[in-house]
Amino acid sequence: MTVLHLMQCTNLGGMEQVAYRLMADLQAAGIEFRLATPMPFGPGADQARRFDATMRDFPYRGRFGWRDFPAFRRHVRDLAAGCAQIWVTGTSAAALAAILGLRQPKVLSHHYHHFEGDHAALRWRGFYELLGRQLDAITYPTAFTRDEALRIAPWLKGRAHVVPNGFELHSRHEPTRLERRAAARRALDLPMDAPVIGNAGWLIPRKRFDVFLRTAARIHAARPDARFVICGGGPLEGDLKRMTAALGLEQAVRFTGWVHDLTPHYEAWDALLFNSDFDTLPAAPMEAASRGCLTVASLLYGGLGEFIEHGRSGYLFDRHDEPAMAEALLRLTSDSAQALVLREGAIDKLRRDFSIERGTAFYRDFFA
């Protein structure tokens, strides 16, 4: 069976990483893919091309890419002629508009929250009314986001499904984790015995890397040997580097740019410090947990509480409480017994609610 998969973009954010993992698992089950994106290729394009070497991108000129939409739509419809099902990843209006009128069963993987900014509910109602009526199914990674959608468009009830992102679990044997940590730190040239705290993602306003840096400054004041790593890129990179210098952290903070495989970083870090104003269910805390890395997070609005149970599988604050997060991280990097309790709790939560099998079961059934 061949599935037409339209990806909103080919970056290395959580949405895209989940899509790459899903395609790998589905491909192993015998499903083939034809891929296209209405936007220019991003840093994850090589990963996407593993599933379709002929994948095309488009310049996306004009608001919502209207200048290139006719060419994109023709290409999509040519591809669809040889595909049995259609899958759209991300809330791409261009991708959904391009498949209007096609008869194949269609599923949308929705990864974004709904109530950010003024008139958000009205905009999303228009989105669902104009582009969602054609869909046979919409998946949401959390009940939080699915319930948001049903408040906006109650008629989605029979089509809206909670499908958790699935993550591969690794050995929870503590000596093995410590061996992996030592190897990763050697490979990344990180100190063996100092606390190492990191985060990864888009360097954009809502991801609040400014909170990360101010919390890092508090930790560094108490532990001058502590080191901090920021993996990712985006429009705020220059501002964040200037902020790092202003905080006196130039020797303590490393900016890596986009990293295609975060595995060695998660294995090297003692903890992930994740901060965001809005997020449906960020992938980084679960990716980190799958590699034995703890999470301390602050999120003003989102569904991360469906993974992090405060004090049991990590620490989750509902405001950007920098002193409290710094205290939690200092405690966890010095109290190995408490850290182990949280690490075990996170692995148990992943195994119970976020396994690879749970993440792919819906798509296997839909494409079958």
The CATH number of whichever domain residue 242 belongs to comes to 3.40.50.2000
Q: Looking at the structure, do residues 110 and 243 belong to the same domain, yes or no?
A: no
Q: Looking at the structure, do residues 243 and 284 belong to the same domain, yes or no?
A: yes
Average pLDDT of adjacent 10-residue blocks, the chain of 368 residues: 96 88 93 97 95 97 92 98 97 96 97 87 95 97 94 96 85 84 97 96 96 98 97 96 98 95 95 94 90 95 93 95 98 92 92 87 94
Amino acid at the residue 341: V
DSSP strand pairing (196-200 vs 271-279): parallel
Q: Looking at the structure, do residues 116 and 133 belong to the same domain, yes or no?
A: yes
What is the rounded CA–CA span in Å between residue 322 and residue 307? 21
Confirm whether pTM is higher than 0.75: yes
pLDDT at 171: 64
8: domain range?
2-166+355-367
Q: Looking at the structure, do residues 188 and 303 belong to the same domain, yes or no?
A: yes
Q: Looking at the structure, do residues 215 and 260 belong to the same domain, yes or no?
A: yes
Q: Looking at the structure, do residues 121 and 185 belong to the same domain, yes or no?
A: no
pLDDT at 330: 97
Q: Looking at the structure, do residues 196 and 328 belong to the same domain, yes or no?
A: yes
pLDDT at 170: 72
Q: Looking at the structure, do residues 158 and 42 belong to the same domain, yes or no?
A: yes
Q: Looking at the structure, do residues 147 and 34 belong to the same domain, yes or no?
A: yes
Place of tokens 């949405």: 15
Distances in whole angstroms, Cα of residue 192 to Cα of each of 215, 261, 314: 22, 21, 23
Q: Domain tally for the chain?
A: 2
Q: Looking at the structure, do residues 20 and 89 belong to the same domain, yes or no?
A: yes
pLDDT at 317: 97
Q: Looking at the structure, do residues 156 and 195 belong to the same domain, yes or no?
A: no
What is the rounded CA–CA span in Å between residue 48 and residue 57? 11
| Phi and psi angles of residue 240, each rounded to the nearest 5 degrees, phi first | -70, -35
Q: Looking at the structure, do residues 214 and 337 belong to the same domain, yes or no?
A: yes
Give me the sign of the Cα torsion angle 14, 174, 340, 313.
positive
